[in-house]
Structure 1
């Protein structure tokens, strides 16, 4: 009888810990949630640089939020920084190895970077985890079918070097 109250309290703690561990979108701090919302608004407005600032601030406020890494990765991809996006996806996968969105996003970034074979490994993982009907699987399969992005060469990139000569 003496142990009933502590046992009940311990059971509640374990139940809460288990439910928090199963959460996909752990953003508990309201300040972080507000910053994430600002980042989403910046993405919608076509300003991925401002979104990165908001997401990084949110991550500083709530470093346990894996979803913020996914948001940072998406903003990096929109900025054309696939290598940085892959790093953010891998940080998310270190925290949650079975995160389907991180596997799919990393695979899409790998395709954009030209590493199609590595992306196919991610696709195989996704297919084994959730099958072909999963939205993440179909998104990555579509990205692989589309292939790597073609690099666009701008006129500024091919300007000849200016040579100054002196006339006598």
Structure 2
């Protein structure tokens, strides 16, 4: 069984940039229409396509199954989706922990989200100095919802959460 145990945070400054080990460009789209069911995502990283099935379980744990698909098939699927996001993903090593920073593009710019994947929900870690507010579980910050309701179209109630970081 594939489990993803992940916590997500807003970022308050650029101090994370000194920890970059690698970066990639990601475009992803969604075949699902409802966040409360299985989420079916297709992702292109510039060289390959993968399809993923995700389902919320509890707290900050999800099922996640991801499989490579042929490039031609991926391109056809992606070209027929309207709910997509684009982002640069940066991989960091901070205090022997792996972090990811997603810097969203286009309609989700200037949103930046930090993620850490954990081995279990009780795993201990310290927050780096660039971390602001935790957004784990706030569904309007999910990639699925950002593809369907981009950051640039958020109403003031969501932007208040963002600005208070």
User: Which has a greater percent of helix?
Assistant: 1
User: Which has a greater percent of strand?
Assistant: 2
Higher relative contact order (CA 8 A, sep 6+): 2
TM-score for the superposition, normalised by structure 1:
0.26
Q: Is the radius of gyration larger for structure 1 or structure 2?
A: 1
